[in-house]
Amino acid sequence: MDSSDIIMLMIAACVALVILMLFSSPIKAFARIALNSALGIIGILAANVFLTPFGMFVGVNILTVMAVGLLGFPGFIMLYITSLMFA
């Protein structure tokens, strides 16, 4: 590598760092929603195991996962309350 390659590599690293700093907030928000969604799927499946004998069942689909992902635990409770209302 000669000096021009090193300089180009340094410039690319700086540009990547600036882009990462500009988009850090949306990346954090997306990561939080993804984590909440994953935990929501696990929570829905676990609750279905215990609550299905009592007539409470919530299917796992994109709408229920996004409800839990965006709203968190209140969204989880909302799904089961609506399950009771429409059962």
> For residues 64 and 53, is the Cβ–Cβ distance under 8 A?
no
φ, ψ of residue 59 to 5 degrees: the values are: -75, 155
The reported pLDDT for the residue numbered 78 is 93
The reported pLDDT for the residue numbered 1 is 73
How high is the mean pLDDT in each 10-residue block of the chain (87 residues)?
Answer: 86 91 86 91 93 88 92 92 86
Gap between the Cα atoms of 59 and 34, Å rounded: 18
Q: Pseudo-torsion of CA 58, 62, 68, 71, nearest 10°?
A: -130
> Is pTM, for the whole model, over 0.85?
no
